[in-house]
Structure 1
Amino acid sequence: MGTRVYLARLAGLPVFDPNGDRVGRVRDAVVRLRTTNRPPQVVGLVAEMALRRRIFLPIGRITSMDAEAVVLGTGSLNLRRFEKRQNELLVLENLLDRRVTVMPEHGDGADHTGTVVDIGMELNRNTEWIVTRVAVREHTGRLTRRGHVYQAEYDRVHGLIGPTDTQGTANLIALLDQMRPADMANALQDLPDARRNEVAAALDDRRLADVLEELPEHDQVEILVGLDRERAADVLERMDPDDAADLLAELPKTEQAVLLDLMEPEEAAPVRQLMSYRPGTAGSVMTSEPVILTPDTTVAEALARIRNPELSPVVAAQVFVARAPAATPTGKYLGMVHFQRLLREPPASIVGGLVDSGIDPLRTDTGLLEITRRMATYDLVAMPVVDSTNRLLGAVTVDDVLDHSLPRDWRDRDAHDEGAA
């Protein structure tokens, strides 16, 4: 392990125990403030384990930190949920993106302002990890030019510790953007409310939509209402219609109407339709955008459709075959074809000859219990939903069923930790 480590570079690295078993991933580093002007001491890392529980890893337990992984030494882990103490700060949450002033190295020349992009720590003679370096991106004052990044000794940097109203979001977002949407949502839950809303608002519409779908409902609502209405409507357009409908259902009726009117009509239409169904039924939980093909589509074309990286695995697991039109509500529903069947057939074959029509589709008023029973009976990850004239309206996927069968607060880590305690 080297004698200097930059902490932001550890974010997202896997953590392994002495036996080589993975414990979790690094999510932040903890520094302890000290008296007088002594540099902060790095006392440990925060790691995220299964079930989104975050624990504290004392720095003395760590035997290796490099670009690939963090490795722990012997001893048992304290699995209590991490809670920051009064004299502690988190590097990524509290220090990254701060605007600071850097004093000239030799006492001559002008001060420089910049933004913190990383924090470096080093071992001192007492084998303590101390903050010694700050990586700063200079402010150029030009919109078209990014300032260069340089390192400054800790004692030359002013404004790093203490209250600030000049903490940006760019570098934190760059780190979070490496995460899956569910992991990013989990990281946002750990931020103070104001910081979380700032970071969420700085994400692009698509990324924010993906993250909102993974957050507890109360966090979704707080972030959405913190946006101006035009931006909120844009984000709702990029969410899956069923998730957008669920989120809008948490808002007052008047606000629902305003946001739906601001959405593009073709994007708002499926959301309005989903909101018209009774809660807890197939109509209310289905996605209105499964992969729908006409019977004359070739296997090669079908495989090309489900290769779309924007499709979730559960939606891409099968295609639904219907007469034209191929947008919901479709023409007559004919059946479905699992992707494994597509892989076994010649590319020139047509999907109309491969459909499985032996499983009765769901109706919009089918309840969750019946949907669960039928999906379990036939080992399905998705089932079609049709209207009274057998037109395909959408599909209920296994993640839809789980999302609406679990307790409402299942995404809220605080509720999980209280239950575990």
Structure 2
Amino acid sequence: MFLARLAGIAVFDPAGDQVGRVRDVVVALWSGAGRPRVLGLVVDVPPRRAVFLPITRVTTFDSKAVIFDGRLNMRRFSQRPAETLAIAEMLDRHVRGPDGEEYVVIDVGMEPVRGREWRITKVAVKRLARARRAGGVGRRRAETLILDWDEIHGLHVAAEQQGAVGLINAFEKLKPADLASVIHELSPKRRGEVAAALDDERLADILEELPEDDQVEILGKLDADRAADVLEVMSPDDAADLLGELPPEQRERLLALMEPEEAAPVRRLLSYADDTAGGLMTTEPVILQPDATVAEALAQIRNPDLNPALAAQVYVCRPPTETPTGRYLGTVHFQRLLRDPPSTMIGAIVDPALSPLRPSMSLHTVAGHLATYNLVSAAVVDEDGHMLGAVTIDDVLDHVLPEDWRDAVLDDGEPAGSTEFDSEAESLRGGR
């Protein structure tokens, strides 16, 4: 069983209920101890909590599912010094083969040795292509091989520099929030390597889901031009929040490197206090002119890349429709769009009775407004009636929850599992 193929696979209990998905595989990679012993799986269970599932509790490995015996300790997983995460830390390592050639690890394979004990026995590697030599010998194409564990050298030695292509490929299908959870648990060094290997759009999506400390750390490891490119891809409100955490000199340097049309809305957002409607809003809601039809409005909110809170309504304004807009006319909620004929002009069905927010309104006032009118988003309009943006419920929650809410886990009582199980799990991992 090759371990990278397990990443993201669903984990089921004996009743067929899914309890989570595989994040990684815990291995005891001790130098001189022979083939490494597989200790268990790291499983992500809702809400974004990583727990340890001992390998002895797994009853079935399949290409699409992992089934265990039903007992799972819900204590949050914490990696120990003697443990290695196979996917996060072994993939992309440079090693030496039996021929002395240098290879890069693309996967590792485990096999059962007795009962439910598993050991790492195989390593899938890719031979690094040789550069063209002065004597005229051509470049050799990269070659993929399956080697025995005993044939490779270098995995017991800490890597000074490590790629991240294999890790990224293993988690390719994860949603940004789930991949952010994986990256958050990596070492700072490994986080930097993964960030360097991600494309700008994927990295921007992940940064928006990470705690502020991780965001600042990762952005600081990118060169200034790359950091500016990533900020341009982020939504303006998230980019403003991140830049607001940086020293003024660094913030201004990055804004200067951004394209002027991308930097302008971010600068506007930075001019407002964090805990006001202006500081909370996004400058990219769905805005249409009053002569647009219901059909056009529905086409806009069907965009799968649109935040669900922003897709819940369209805002109707006189041109221009880029923020700050012409005169704000009102809001049309998606339920109203579903009730009217497609040819209806949205200017005729706006809800003018719902008062917009002002940019200076406090966080408390904004939260009360959304709660009072059962809204997931609300327009922010200046004193002259121009729409500046919209505040969404997710941004409000982000500010009213504790600062470390992304790290927090829900702990409802005692961890699941019997005392016998807890003792066995600790014994298997070399409990202390």
1:327 partner amino acid: E
1:271 equivalent to 2:260? Answer no
Question: Is 2:18 the partner of 1:29?
Answer: no
Question: What TM-score results when the alignment is normalised by the length of structure 2?
Answer: 0.89
Q: For residues 136 and 209 of structure 1, do their structure 2 counterparts lie closer, same or farther at Cα, with a shift above 3 Å needed?
A: same
Q: SS of the counterpart of 2:34?
A: coil
Work out the CA distance in 2 between the residues paired with 1:185 and 1:145. 37
Q: Does 1:62 align with 2:51?
A: no
Shift, 1:34, TM fit: 4.9
2:44 to 33, 43, 48: 48
In structure 2, what is the Cα distance between the partners aligned to 1:239 and 1:233?
Answer: 10
Quote the residue 1:129 is aligned against. 118
Residue aligning to 1:186:
181
Aligned equivalents of 2:44, 2:384: Cα separation in 1: 49
- 2:292 is matched with 297
2:152 paired residue among 141, 154, 157: 157
Q: Does 1:167 align with 2:138?
A: no
**Pair 1:403–1:156, CA change in 2 (3 A):** same
- Give the TM-score of the pair, scaled to structure 1: 0.92
Q: 1:145 Cα deviation (Å)?
A: 8.7
In the alignment, is the contact (CA less than 8 A) between 2:112 and 2:118 conserved in 1?
Answer: yes
Q: Deviations over 1:127-161 (max 9, x none)?
A: 42011111112222379996343211111112222
Q: How far has the Cα of 1:308 moved from its partner? A: 2.2
Aligned partners of 2:110, 2:382: CA distance in 1, in Å?
63
Distance 2:414 2:231 in 1: 34
Among 346, 351, 354, which residue is 2:346 paired with?
A: 351
Which runs of structure 2 are paired with 1:3-402 in the superposition (5 Å)? 5-34=1-30, 36-74=32-70, 76-103=71-98, 110-125=99-114, 127-141=116-130, 147-402=142-397
What is the alpha-carbon distance in structure 1 between the residues aligned to residue 390 and residue 20 of structure 2?
34
How far residue 356 of structure 1 moved from its aligned partner, in angstroms, is 1.3
Distance, in Å, in 2 between the alignment partners of 1:290 and 1:322 is 12
Go from structure 1 to structure 2 and tell me whether the alpha carbon gap of 1:307 and 1:145 turns closer, same or farther (over 3 Å shift). farther
Asked if the contact 1:34–1:41 (Cα under 8 Å) also holds between the matched residues in 2, the reply is: no
Which of 1 and 2 has higher RCO (CA within 8 Å, sep 6+)? 2
CA contact (8 A) 2:162 2:193 kept: no
CA change 1:232–1:145 in 2 (3 A) is farther
Task: Judge which range, 147-156 or 247-256, deviates more.
Answer: 147-156
- 1:41 Cα shift? 0.8
Letter in 2 for 1:113: E
Q: How far apart, in 2, do the equivalents of 1:203 and 1:223 lie?
A: 12
Secondary structure in structure 1 of the residue aligned to 2:156: coil
Deviation by residue 1:76-99 (Cα, 9 ceiling, x = unmatched): 322222222332211012211111
Q: CA deviation at 1:121?
A: 0.7
AA at the equivalent of 1:196: R
- Equivalenced residue count is 408
SS, match of residue 380 in structure 1: coil
> What is the aligned-residue RMSD (CA, Å)?
2.2
Secondary structure (helix, strand or coil) at the match of 2:309 reads helix
User: 1: CA distance between counterparts of 2:324 and 2:81?
Assistant: 57
Conserved 8 A contact 2:31-2:156? no
Relative distance call for 1:132 and 1:250 in structure 2 (3 A) is same
Q: Residue by residue, what CA displacement relative to the aligned partner does 1:350-394 show, whole Å, maximum 9, x if unpaired?
A: 111121111000011111222112211211110001000111111
Structure 1 contact 97–116 (Cα < 8 Å) conserved: yes
Q: Give the match for residue 107 of structure 1.
A: none
Q: Which amino acid aligns with 2:233?
A: R
Unaligned runs of 5+ in 2: 133-138, 416-432
Identity of paired residues, percent? 54
* Offset of residue 27 of structure 1: 0.5
What amino acid maps onto 2:35 in structure 1?
P
CA distance in 2, matches of 1:299, 1:55: 47
CA contact (8 A) 1:410 1:416 kept: no
Larger CA deviation: 361-370 vs 146-155: 146-155
Contact 1:249–1:275 (CA under 8 A) maintained in structure 2: yes
**TM superposition shift of 1:36:** 3.5
Moved more, 345-354 or 210-219: 345-354
